[in-house]
Amino acid sequence: MMAYLPVRGSIFELASRFVDPAYSAVAAVAEYWDSTTNTAVWIALSMVIYIFLNMVCKAEFVLAITKVFLLILLVLITVTTMAGGSPKGDAYGFRNWKDGAIHEYYAKGPTGKFLVWWSVAIYVACTIAGPDMIALAVGEIQNPRQTIPRVARMIFCRLVGFYMVGALAVVIGIYNLRIGVLPHFINALILVFGLSCGNAYLFAASGTLYGLARAPKMLMKCTKTGVPIYSTAIVSMISCVTFLVASNSAKEVFFWFVDLTTTAFIASYCFMLLAYIGFYCASKAQGLTDGSLSYVAPLTPYPPIMAFTTGCITILFVGFDVFSPFSVRGSVTFYFAVAFTSGIVDPEDLITGKAEIGEECRQWKLAEMNWVRRTWERMW
C-alpha cells in the first residue's frame, strides 16, 4: 500500500482515504555516571538535542550506523565472555540451566505459565515497535517504489537478528566481570542508542501530526527544508511530561510510559492494518491487480487480518493483572489509549497523487541509467 501511494501524509492520509477521515484525526543511562544530578537535567538536555536534530541536521543515518556497530560489538562480547573469555575466566553461559524457562503467575500449571508469558507481552510490544517507521517516513524516502519493497523484505531478518540476539544486560555483565573501561564505552553507545530512538520518534510524531493536520491548517506549515515547524514544536512541548522523573524515580516513570505507549502502539498497528484491509478491499473492487503493485506481501490478505484480530484481543486483555487486586493507576495507564470507532468510506480514493509519484519514481529510475539509455527513454 505504501509502495503504491507513498504520499507525504504517510499512513494517516491513506487511512483517511480507505477507512474514514476522522480515523486519522534516557535518564537511567546517564545516572550510570552521575547519580547526584537531577534526572530532569538529562531530560532537558535530550529534548534540546532532539529538537536541534529534527530542525537542522540529518543525523539519523550516522546514529543508525552507530547502533549497528553497538549490536555487533555486544554480540561478540557476549559470546566471548559466556565462554570464559574474561579476566575472571568465568564461563557463566554454562550455568543456571535449571527451574525451566517459564515460571508460574496468578495460577498453577500450564495456565500460570501462559499468564506469565502473556504478562510480558506489553514489554515485548513496546520494544518491537519500529517497523511502522517505513509507513511514517514514506514521504521522505527517495525512489519509494523501489526502496520500500527492499526495506520491507529485510524487516523480518533484522527483527530476529537484532532484537533476539541483542536482548542482553551487557553493561551489568561486563561490569561484574571487571573488564576495564569497557562498561563506560558500552554505556556511552547505549546512550547514543537512546538518543537516536528519541530522535526517530520525535520525527515520527511530528510527521504524524502533520499527516493529521486537517485543522488547524497552520500545522501543515513547513520550513524551506521541509520540516513541519509547528508540528515539531507541539510534539516537543508534549514531551515535557517526561519531567515527571523530577519527582518520581526514573524506573517508575519508565513503567508508566511503557504501559501508556504500548497499548497505543498496538492500537496504532491495528489502525494501520485496518487501513490496509480497506485498501485491499478497494483495490479488488476497483480492479487493481497485484501486477500493478510494486510489492505484495506473502499470503495477502490473511496475515493482516490475523494480525488485526490478534491486536484487538491483545488490547482487551493486556492489562488483565490490574483487576485483581484492582489498581487505578494500572487500569488508566493500560487502557488510556483505547476507545476509538470508525467507519468505512465509500468510494475509496486509489488515484490522487499516484501520477505525481509515478513521475518522481521515473526520474529516479532514469538517474540510475547510463546516458545513452536515459536519452532514449526520455525520447520515447
d(CA 279, CA 134): 17
Q: Which residues contact 281 (CB under 8 A, 6 or more apart)?
A: 348
Of 97-101, 150-154, 307-311, the range with the highest mean pLDDT is 307-311
Task: Give the three-class secondary structure for 323.
Answer: strand
Q: So what's the pLDDT on residue 56?
A: 47
Q: Looking at the chain, how many residues does it have?
A: 380
C-alpha cell at 270: 491495528
Q: Which pLDDT score is estimated for 357?
A: 58
The mean per-residue pLDDT over the stretch 99-110 comes to 73
Q: 52, 43, 85, 12: which is closest to 232 by C-alpha?
A: 52
Q: Is the pLDDT of residue 24 over 60?
A: no
179-192, pLDDT tens digit by residue? 667 777 777 777 77
Confidence of residue 89 (pLDDT cuts 50, 70, 90): confident
Per-residue pLDDT, 21: 47
Q: What average pLDDT does the segment 30-40 reach?
A: 54
Please say if the pLDDT value at position 246 is more than 70.
no
Which residues contact residue 146 at a Cβ distance below 8 angstroms, ignoring those fewer than 6 apart? 294, 361, 364, 365
Q: How many CB atoms lie within 10 A of CB 242?
A: 22
3-state secondary structure 213-226: CCCCHHHHCCCCCC
Cell triple for 159: 527483527
Give the range among 59-63, 154-158, 216-220 with minimum mean pLDDT. Answer: 59-63
User: Is the CB of residue 298 less than 8 Å from the CB of residue 38?
Assistant: no
- Tally Cβ neighbours within 10 Å of residue 54: 24
The answer on pLDDT for 340 being more than 50 is no
**CA 359/CA 281 separation, integer angstroms:** 26
- C-alpha 104: how far from chain center: 30
Average pLDDT, the chain: 68
Query: What pLDDT digit, counting tens, does each position of 39-76 carry?
Result: 556 566 666 665 665 554 566 666 677 777 777 777 77
| Segment 15-21 mean pLDDT | 51
* Mean pLDDT, range 87-91, rounded to an integer: 72
The residue type found at 213 is A
Sign of CA dihedral 177, 101, 260, 279: positive
Q: Which residues are CB-contacts of 352 (< 8 A; sequence separation ≥ 6)?
A: 17
